Structure formats: structure tokens, C-alpha cells
Amino acid sequence: MIKPHGTDTLNPLYVQNENQRNELLKEAESLPSLVVSSAAAANAVMLGSGYFNPLKGYMNRADSLRVAENMRTTDGLFWPVPIVNVVNNADGIKGAKRIALRDPNVDGNPVLAIQTVETIEEFTNDDMKWMTEKIFRTTDPNHPGVAAFNSVGNVVISGPIQVLNFSYFGKEFPETFRTACQIREEMKKLGWEKVVAFQTRNPMHLAHEELCRMAHKAVNADGILIHMLLGRLKKGDIPADVRDACIRKMVELYFPPNTVLVTGYGFDMLYAGPREAVLHAVFRQNAGCTHLIVGRDHAGVGDYYGPFDAQAIFREEVPPGALQINIFEADHTAWSRKLGRVVMMRDVPDHTKEDFILLSGTKVREMLSRGEAPPPEFSRPEVAQILMQYYRSTQEQ
């Protein structure tokens, strides 16, 4: 199986030993504590899950700036975005060597992790503007990732962490949330060596389903990992439980048994386009995948990125050998009226726009809201039924 990023073995920061966890929870009662941002909590979950291997905790100012600049930490580790714990005010922990990090997303703000404090520094306004531009390729406050990144403060607390739980992800998504370690174990049981990963924050329509099949066949993979984001999204996105139900129904009905793993990870969407695509590749390598599908507007939002910028970054900015995972570059996929099947548009140069069944996201949402199923050439009827029920429930509230 493919090696993790940066090490020979995966080193998740979750404290496995129950007695040690209980001792740390007891220690946390006497420590200064912070209710961290949702982004910092998600970073802790990803560190605890092994997805952010080989990081040991949160980055300091120098590493954050260097990563934003050229995707390298100060000691040379390839990494695409800063992994930080940023707060508005750290007065309550000044002088503390260890602090308890409390979860903002769970009632009562239970302790999520314990952090050893190495530095407490401040990002200047220029630092924040510069990092925003580098990570998101825009400073537009209407960009949801830009807005979130600049809303949590500018005091950065660095240092290693010990993760004590996986926030709400394990409880709310017990059948779907999996750590990188668990995914590797499942792949090993299935005998998978070559695995294609598909990233999604949306329900999967027929074109997505067929894209997974195309990639699986093209690289001669043993299996497909459908890996959905379970964390915070922008307003208007489909909730994770609805997406989960749609994807599971599709896999149950339309894929052979033991060819697809449906799993999810605990992270908040960045909407950072190319940089987030590289982060997706890093943590899919850590989960044991050999290939990641990167398609049109991967991890994008609005019109902030070109349709294939997320593919170009791997060719133009990711140094050779920085990652072991391979990228499967996908074109826009749609149903061909001429051929009677889903195709990649680049593979059918004789087609015109009228030869495809193309529906915008807005059009599909309008249809579903009216109780109209999209055509079967666009969406599986069983998936459409789940989505129609969801939209009906939102109208009744």
C-alpha cells in the first residue's frame, strides 16, 4: 500500500489508550482553556485521524507564512495550506505551557485536545491579507473561505496536540466517519492496493457515478473510495446526512459489492480551489489511496477559479516527488444524446453543446424543490427521491 505523506507509517495524534485519555481529561480540568474556532477544531480532528500526517500540531507564524508562500514549512515539509489555531484573544492562556482546547461545535464545549504551547504570536493585517491572497487567490470577503479565514482572529497559538475525541463526527455519522487509519485497515482487509479516491461535498449524480467508473477502469484500480466532507459548509449546500443517504443508495443499487467504500472525514470546507485540491491529495495519500480524481472546478466556489486550475497546480506548482499519490485529471462529464451514455466532453470532439444533457445546479434545485425528478440521464431516480424529500422538508419548516 502507498506510504503516508512524509513518513513510513501513519502517526495519528488521537490518544488511543483509554487510561491515558482519562488522565489527560483529568489534567485538562486544571489547565487554562480556550473554545477554539470551528476551523481549528476541524484541524484537530484531521490531525487526530491521521489525515494530516506527519504534522504534530498547529503551525507557528513562520511556518504559516512559508506554507502560504510556497507550500513548504520552514524545515522543508511539503504542505499546501497553513494548519493553525487562531483566536481573537489569548490573554487567558499567557504563560501557560499546556492548554485545553474546547470544542465549539458540541454542547457544553467539551475538551477536544490538549495543546503544548510553543509560541503565541500575532499575524499582522498584512500577514492576513497576504496569506488570504496566496491560499484563496482572492481577498474578496464574499468568498466563503476568505470570510471564514479572516473571521477568527489573528493570534496564532502553535505547538503539538494530543487529540482526545473526534468532535461530533463519530456520533452523528457513525457509519460514515472514518479515520485514515481505519480506511487503510479496511482496504487491507479487502486486498486493495490501487485505489481511486473521489472527493465530494455534494450528492452524486449520474455523471459523478460514471466518472468514478471511468477512473477505476482507466487506472485498473482495485476499488473506489468515495470520501465525503462531513463538516461545515456554506449556506445553501446540502447537509451531510442527506448527501450520505444519497451516496449510499447509489452505491447499494448501482455498484457491485466490495468495489466501493463510502466514508467521510471531519473537516470544514475551505473552498480554496487549487490549494484545497492539493490538501485533498495529501490526506487521500495518508488514507492509502494511490489516485485522486480531480475534475472540473474541484473545491471551487463561484467564479473565483478557472475550471481546471485545480489540475494545473499539480503540474505547475507541486514539485516532482512531493507526493506519491497520482492525479486522475477528469473533464466535465455529461450524458451524450448521440451515444446514449455519460462521456467526458474532451473524448467526444464531434459533439456540440446541444448533444449533451446539461442542467445547472440552480435548475436542478428548482426542479427538486417543485417535486420534479431530474431526467434519468442526469440523476438516479432513487437519489432524486431522497433529494426531493429533503427539499420538501425545508419548505415545510
- Counting every residue written for the chain, the total comes to 397
Question: How many angstroms separate the CA atoms of 255 and 250, rounded?
Answer: 8
Helix (H, G, I), strand (E, B) or coil at 27: helix
341 catalytic per annotation: no
Continuous H helices in the chain: 18-28, 38-49, 61-70, 125-136, 144-149, 169-172, 180-190, 206-218, 240-254, 274-286, 309-316, 361-369, 381-396
Pairing of strands 341-344, 333-336: antiparallel
Q: Determine whether 201 is an active site residue.
A: yes
Residue among 353, 360, 313, 317 nearest 336 (CA): 353
Three cell numbers, residue 144: 466563503
Name the active-site residue from 11, 109, 154, 202: 202
Nearest to 173 by CA among 133, 121, 231, 226: 231
User: What cell does 181 get?
Assistant: 487509519
CA–CA gap between residue 358 and residue 29 (Å, rounded)? 56
- Buried/exposed 272-308: b ≥16 CB within 10 Å, e otherwise: bbbbbbbbbbbbbbbbbbbbbbbbbbbbbbeebbeeb
Q: Which of 21, 72, 98, 201 is catalytic?
A: 201
SS3 187: helix
Residue type for 262, please?
V
Residues carrying an active site annotation? 201-202
